[in-house]
Amino acid sequence: MDSHGQYEQRVVWAVVGTGIGPLLLAATREGLVNVVFHATDEVRDGALERLASRLGAEPVEEPGSPLLAEAIRQVEAYFAGERRDFELPLDWSLISGFNREVLRELASGVPFGSVVGYGDLARRVGQPGAAQAVGTAMGANPLPVVVPCHRVVESGGGIGGFGGGLETKRHLLALEGVLPEPLF
């Protein structure tokens, strides 16, 4: 606690190896706050600087932290094909407004092995003309994989964009049985 009796913000992080490369996982006392693709040293350092700035606390590498243990276990089980759903407390403090509303709907309403169109997701949150804004929300998702923005695709059957790269999106959709595994 600080001198005013308030809990100081605590941010812990670890990098986890996965089938799509290293993921940075960061958590607060509220829950998992950030997942970052392709967490090489340079990407990781930039992500940690942004987290420190946004959350007002210096992230501490602590892979054994109880705040991260369950998230790490569930992410590893997901990539091993042993888990379909994430059951984790999430800290939504890095996103707000329409983007948060869309991502919450995505997290609760688009299950493993299924996809939804950008326009369909916009309709689900009561904004039928906001397909492009849904795309923006997907790009702003601070919790990819756990909040499955890879499950949002174009209505005409296209894969759509993806902040982690299209190969990563294809891999995640293949892992969930939506796409066939690439031959090479």
Q: What is the pTM of this model?
A: 0.92
Backbone angles phi, psi at 34, to 5 degrees: -155, 140
**115-165: per-residue pLDDT in tens?**
999 999 999 999 999 999 999 999 999 999 999 999 999 988 788 889 899
- Alpha-carbon distance of 35 to 46, in angstroms, equals 13
Active site residues: 149
Of the listed ranges 5-9, 24-28, 178-182, the one predicted with least confidence: 5-9
Query: Count of CB atoms within 10 A of residue 45's CB?
Result: 11
**68-95: per-residue pLDDT in tens?**
999 999 999 999 999 999 999 999 999 9
Structure tokens at 59: 């992230």
User: Does the pLDDT value for residue 6 go beyond 60?
Assistant: no
Backbone angles phi, psi at 55, to 5 degrees: -100, -10
- pLDDT for res 183: 57
3-state helix, strand, coil in the chain (%, to 5): 40, 15, 50
- Spatial contact of 133 and 98, defined as CB atoms under 8 Å apart: yes
- Alpha-carbon distance of 18 to 83, in angstroms, equals 14
